Structure 1
Amino acid sequence: MIRSSAHELTKSLSQRQVSAVDLMQQTLEQIAEVNPGVNAIVALRDVADLMAEAQAADQGPVRGPLHGLPIAVKDLVNVAGIPSTQGSPALKDAVPTSDDLIAARMRAAGAILIGKTNVPEHGLGSHTFNPVYGATSNPYDRNLTCGGSSGGAAVALATGMVALADGSDMMGSLRNPAGWNNVYGFRPSWGLVPSEPQGEMFLHQLSTLGPMARSPQDISLFLDVISGPDHRSPFGQATAPTFPIKDRSIRGLKIGWLGDWQRCFPMEGGILELSQEALSVFESLGASVEHIAAPFEADLIWDSWITLRSWSIAGSLAPMMERGEPLKDSAIWEIERGLSMSAMEVHRASEIRSDWFRRAAQLFETYDALVLPTAQVWPFDVNLPWPTEIAGQGMDTYHRWMQVVTPVSLIGLPCLAVPAGFGAINGLPGGVQIFGPRGSDAAILALGKAYHAATEWPQKRPPV
């Protein structure tokens, strides 16, 4: 049962063909068996309380599309009654009394919120480790990282501890771990899934919440639960439901392959080859794939990105630094950069972002989707904070090795990270990013559905 798809489980639960009690029991047994070796789920609620909530779901009315489904929520999200630490020592004893919006929507849809999934401290860096809960390991090799910041979520999915997981994505935070754990992660068009209506709500259009799952169809099911406008948010858009995903013919579609952006993104050996194997699937389905030249200067995208990112992070974390609360070095670096910027520096960075958005819009007049790898490296040593070089080229920041995700992040496009299979030499999972124009979320998910039907990587190669 624990390896079943979320849409099959929720259908069976709502029709009373499967009991929430049985599913909860199997979920808890899987967590007890697997989680000690990977450390993906943290702050697990009391077993008796969870079983009682599952029993109540069986005895009461069907509450929504996720009725009776156990879900662990990413530990950047506040959930009432569950420690919400963000991996920070300053918040290790924080237990919210109310749900953030995304958690409230899951709960209203009938999900049973069982605990948290592990994250890097404050979600910074694509490697899940923190001083509160420790590191989360890759289930395909427990000596290696699972990525991040939605690393715990990806591992919980890959190992069958949950059928759906929420992620968030500023700089590949659900795309990178999806690729490294052989699952799917979807970064929706910016604004489709509203952020928590607190603090500054107008300027920082970088990060977004999004769904993760073992199939695009399950991504779609969860997206419909967490998306849609909130009257307290200045941004948001009403959209038609995406579940179930409509079939889309791949024949005749044009896909642009960006590769390593004309050698601007250094890659470890085998990354591009595995990505091209994924592209060959689309060719077998009737699409044409063209390798296209770098459409915009990579350094301009990078400079714009790190300016706007540091400015955003300083806005949220600077008060903690001012209070003398503990922060890791990368957080302090981001805050100090953000505090040093002038308004015109930020404006120039946004002008570059606007230029890249316009250029990308031109590309989508020719191509139905564009593709990049989800990462420039394979999963690295779990004890290493971050890769300091790729293929002999030094990395000048703690996140430069993640540069391949910035073309999407900078302009808020919808992007589906799909599993690409396993490296020929190391046997490790990798993935590719499939992205399209703003608002093409349903079309990108339909591409993913066709790809999944032809590959089914998460179902073929679950971790041992």
Structure 2
Amino acid sequence: MIRQTAPCDLGAIEARDRIRSGALSAFELADSCIARVEAVDPAVNALVARDFDTFRERAREADARQAAGLPLGPLHGLPFAVKDMIDVAGLPTTYGSEIFRTNIATADDPIVTALRQAGALPIGKTNTPEWSAGANSRNRVWGTTANPYDLSLNCGGSSGGSAVALACGFAPLATGSDTGGSLRTPAAFNGVVGFRPSPGVVPGHSRSIATLSITTAGPMARSVADCGLMLSVMAVADRYDPFTTVTDGGTPWKSQSFADLPRTDLTRLRFAVTEDFGFAPTEGATRATFRSVMSDLAPFLPKIDERHPDCTGADRIFAVLRALLFLGAHDRYVLEQPEHVGRNVTDNVIEARGYSAADVAEAMYAQSAYYRLWQDFFETCDYLISPTVTAAPRDWHENAPLEIDGHKLDSYYHWLALAYASTIAGHPAISIPCGRYPNGLPFGLQIIGRRHDDLGVLAVAAQLESLIAGVSTLAPEAPDLKGLMAAPPLSSCHGFLEVE
């Protein structure tokens, strides 16, 4: 990615290595990140809560630790941004909900604890739609987050603030979470990397239904290797997540391996490609861009077939399981304080109330069959490639697309079908920047692997990323930072806080 030369523009691995060598201090990196936030964030509104005095103090402590010759963690001195769905002690955790507008966290979420113990420093909280409901990062507490490539457009969600913070150089790492594409969609829209791991690889303490694995946290960064480094710290043994297998204090996956990705020979691998999984409402512009991108990549991937797993019933399965999550977590808010609950959350709760026990049982049985069909498919395929999102970013005033190419959508999340196709089966998936739409906006390529082949997905993505960087039509480009610095505050725009 073509970037500026300030310390805040360094990738995580490069910044960490410079700090360890003495070429850069943690304080200098922190100060650079703060300066970038203050210069650019008024235009995009990504980092919605921060305490820069404490952030600077933690950076000084990191430098003092290094000067004293004490052991340094693998993320020593690296700033990271935190999605406003998990706790950072002393900062607000609002979930984008008016009900929690004044909520201040008293302790760190386990993910934040793990990152701190590895030496990373939280810079602040990033914007999200209310309760992560949707792929447009707007809410009544913090307002809208805009796409840094075009401030009139949607930045994606629900980890939209994290993706924009990365794209703009606010921090080299950020946390995100993903149910129906909440890591992958904003990564695609903002030219960064978002990785959804297999269930249990990153333990989750905040799922309202612990045994329903369609939601997981994951890393976000500006490169695949940086995502792997972050994942190596997040992927800990934790019995509180029923999908995290813990034996003799460890897990079957070796966390450290994520920080040192192996090289892989793409010519030996069997790839499948699909524009729509047979059911996703993919727009014509996305299909055309995907074909163009794959044409440029084809010389490097000799074993490609156009096919996809059987995704029969995907929309219905995802709708019912998603509704269960919202009913369990938010029904009381809709009942007791409906005036403080937004449209998306309310619609999901109302939808859930309409399902019967038979509907739930049918969806769970269908998910089991769906999962097995995906396992059959991956017996003859190593990795599956698709667009990350069905449609390009739209006007951020629009809650969600109501139609794509003239075809009416079933719900506000139906346009995320390319992402939730793999969510239902529980397979790891990553979005990497690859090429551009005709209007110059970043295009996201999704790579999916076998369940628990997280290391393989990251390794393949890293190899593709290195190839993409050498192809002028595909190589990512950073947003126009000077233009963002000169832009009026997003908060002055009509509709900034007018969220349905």
TM-score bracket, shorter-length normalisation:
over 0.9
1:27 aligns with 2:33: yes
Q: What is residue 445 of structure 2 aligned with on the other side?
A: 432
Out of 205, 219, 225, the residue aligned to residue 217 of structure 1 is: 225
Asked if the contact 1:250/1:282 (under 8 Å) is kept, the reply is no
Asked if the contact 2:434/2:476 (under 8 Å) is kept, the reply is no
Q: Name the stretch that deviates more: 183-192 or 236-245.
A: 236-245
Q: Distance in 2 between matches of 1:272 and 1:48?
A: 47
Q: Do the aligned partners of residues 354 and 396 (structure 1) sit closer, same or farther apart at CA in structure 2, a change above 3 Å counting?
A: same
Aligned-residue offset at 1:198: 7.3
1:157 aligns with 2:166: yes
Q: Which amino acid aligns with 1:413?
A: H
Q: Distance in 1 between matches of 2:374 and 2:207?
A: 31
Q: Distance in 1 between matches of 2:274 and 2:475?
A: 28
Q: Distance in 2 between matches of 1:193 and 1:155?
A: 22
Q: Which amino acid aligns with 1:217?
A: A
Asked if the contact 2:433/2:443 (under 8 Å) is kept, the reply is yes
Q: Distance in 2 between matches of 1:273 and 1:114?
A: 39
Out of 309, 322, 334, the residue aligned to residue 348 of structure 2 is: 334
Q: Which runs of 5+ in 2 are unaligned?
A: 1-6, 246-250, 481-500
Q: What is residue 147 of structure 1 aligned with on the other side?
A: 156
Q: What is residue 226 of structure 1 aligned with on the other side?
A: 234
Q: Distance in 2 between matches of 1:178 and 1:189?
A: 18
Q: How many correspondences in the alignment?
A: 458
Q: Cα deviations across residues 52-77 of structure 1 (Å, max 9, x unaligned)?
A: 22111100134411111111200011
Q: Which amino acid aligns with 1:419?
A: P
Q: What is residue 246 of structure 1 aligned with on the other side?
A: 262
Q: Which amino acid aligns with 2:240?
A: R
SS in 2 for 1:186: strand
Asked if the contact 1:158/1:183 (under 8 Å) is kept, the reply is yes
1:40 aligns with 2:46: yes
1:414 aligns with 2:428: yes
Q: What is residue 210 of structure 2 aligned with on the other side?
A: 201
Asked if the contact 1:163/1:214 (under 8 Å) is kept, the reply is yes
1:461 aligns with 2:470: no
Aligned-residue offset at 1:199: 5.4
Q: What is residue 276 of structure 2 aligned with on the other side?
A: 260
1:393 aligns with 2:401: no
SS in 2 for 1:2: helix
Divergent runs of 4+, >6 A: none
Out of 80, 83, 88, the residue aligned to residue 71 of structure 1 is: 80
Q: Which amino acid aligns with 1:130?
A: N
Q: What is residue 273 of structure 1 aligned with on the other side?
A: 288
1:283 aligns with 2:298: yes
Q: Which runs of 5+ in 1 are unaligned?
A: none
Q: What is residue 493 of structure 2 aligned with on the other side?
A: none
Q: Name the stretch that deviates more: 301-310 or 453-462.
A: 453-462
* Alignment RMSD: 1.7
SS in 2 for 1:430: strand
1:449 aligns with 2:462: yes
Q: What is residue 498 of structure 2 aligned with on the other side?
A: none
Aligned-residue offset at 1:294: 6.1
Q: Distance in 2 between matches of 1:161 and 1:62?
A: 26
Q: What is residue 243 of structure 2 aligned with on the other side?
A: 235
Asked if the contact 2:434/2:475 (under 8 Å) is kept, the reply is no
Asked if the contact 1:229/1:235 (under 8 Å) is kept, the reply is no
Q: Distance in 2 between matches of 1:49 and 1:17?
A: 23
Q: Name the stretch that deviates more: 98-107 or 234-243.
A: 234-243
SS in 2 for 1:443: helix
Q: How does 1:39-118 map to 2 (within 5 A)?
A: 39-45=45-51, 47-60=52-65, 61-118=70-127
Q: Which amino acid aligns with 2:406?
A: G
Q: Do the aligned partners of residues 27 and 336 (structure 1) sit closer, same or farther apart at CA in structure 2, a change above 3 Å counting?
A: same
Aligned-residue offset at 1:101: 1.1
Q: Name the stretch that deviates more: 142-151 or 100-109.
A: 100-109
Q: Cα deviations across residues 115-163 of structure 1 (Å, max 9, x unaligned)?
A: 1010001100000000111100001000001000000111111111111
Q: What is residue 325 of structure 2 aligned with on the other side?
A: 312
Aligned-residue offset at 1:281: 5.0
Q: How does 1:111-150 map to 2 (within 5 A)?
A: 111-150=120-159
Q: Distance in 2 between matches of 1:460 and 1:229?
A: 35
Asked if the contact 2:266/2:460 (under 8 Å) is kept, the reply is yes
SS in 2 for 1:417: strand
Normalising to structure 2: TM-score of the pair?
0.88
Aligned-residue offset at 1:48: 2.6
Q: What is residue 14 of structure 1 aligned with on the other side?
A: 20
Asked if the contact 1:118/1:153 (under 8 Å) is kept, the reply is yes
SS in 2 for 1:311: helix
SS in 2 for 1:346: helix
SS in 2 for 1:336: helix
Out of 166, 170, 195, the residue aligned to residue 179 of structure 2 is: 170
Among the aligned pairs, what percent are the same residue? Answer: 34
Asked if the contact 1:274/1:420 (under 8 Å) is kept, the reply is no
Aligned-residue offset at 1:344: 2.8
Q: What is residue 417 of structure 2 aligned with on the other side?
A: 403
Q: What is residue 376 of structure 1 aligned with on the other side?
A: 390
Q: Distance in 1 between matches of 2:268 and 2:261?
A: 20
Q: Cα deviations across residues 152-194 of structure 1 (Å, max 9, x unaligned)?
A: 1111111111111111000100111111111111000011111
Q: Distance in 2 between matches of 1:158 and 1:247?
A: 26
Q: Distance in 2 between matches of 1:274 and 1:311?
A: 35
Q: Name the stretch that deviates more: 272-281 or 145-154.
A: 272-281
Q: Cα deviations across residues 362-413 of structure 1 (Å, max 9, x unaligned)?
A: 1111111112211111100011111111000011311112222221111211
Q: Do the aligned partners of residues 125 and 460 (structure 1) sit closer, same or farther apart at CA in structure 2, a change above 3 Å counting?
A: closer
SS in 2 for 1:410: helix
Asked if the contact 1:217/1:449 (under 8 Å) is kept, the reply is yes
Q: Do the aligned partners of residues 351 and 170 (structure 1) sit closer, same or farther apart at CA in structure 2, a change above 3 Å counting?
A: same
Aligned-residue offset at 1:342: 2.7
Aligned-residue offset at 1:320: 1.9
SS in 1 for 2:30: helix
Q: Distance in 2 between matches of 1:461 and 1:233?
A: 38
SS in 2 for 1:416: strand
Aligned-residue offset at 1:5: 1.3
Q: Distance in 1 between matches of 2:79 and 2:382?
A: 36
SS in 2 for 1:251: helix
Q: Which amino acid aligns with 2:477?
A: R
